[in-house]
Chain A
């Protein structure tokens, strides 16, 4: 029993370490002044990794029940739909928003 607790606590501290490393990474990446899309991808990507660590280990989402996974999965899909739907409706020059733009090359 004591081993389990100690192991669990060790696990949390390892995750903490990883989160600190990733925080440094994301700050460091910002100094590289990457071009637009890459900067976004890196920043959001690292943030996703950090969020996943917090969710899986601190929030005990790893090994949780399907009854929790399904609503969260649905939420993720709808979140993406909202951002994509808004962006593609208003972003006049994004790929795929107009038939003619999508199929002409210049």
Chain B
């Protein structure tokens, strides 16, 4: 058990005992190696179940909007989760007074797909040891450098430290490199239009419309999504080129100025479809056009909600 897990259990037990929160959302060990499960802890004794390591894949902030209204929630936040919480509070999806944020500086999420590609499906055990990940399979032991098997979004992560947390456990980490973060967007932009379209079609056509990306996303909380509308039918609901492309375009576009770049959509996708190149582009544009970054401030509204008459000199040909 690592030190961080111990600190999280202690803090969770304390806030439950002192009746500061009704539930603590965190992670517990999963049934399978390489995968942890989200856990909802309501009693002090259960806090022993909590753990935290690089195999915690979900963005816990996505559960905030599904909890009953008025419930006081303690939530374990990494950098991206804390920014998602901030954006949700800004959109009046939760009261900040009813939240208790346990901040954890994040060293990145390990992508189980990258490991599975190397060692096959017979993983028996996986543990982190410092900068190494040790995976035991039936054929023996495999060692990976942690930095090599991190999820793509985590390799590009800009802000690993939680923002606006009530308590931070662990030491702050250095901020990410913007050049590296935006490199995929700029590379994609440099391609020819037909190449870009071919890439997009190749990704979108694999989509099976399971909407796991929507469920995993902390910012997708609409009671009725545009794809579920039947009158009018905004996009074809079947696995047609038109339907899947519309889903990918509009899902990403609804995240403009709201996406926290956590990559939960990509990790949730059963078809391994790349999606962050879409949302990253929109985030990049929002930074370039309006100097906006998600979760950077507690008051600033996202650009699409904060239009002013100062815009009048833009866009006019």
Asked if A and B bind, the verdict is: no
Q: Which residue numbers of B lie inside 8 Å of A, CB to CB?
A: none
Q: Which residue numbers of A lie inside 8 Å of B, CB to CB?
A: none
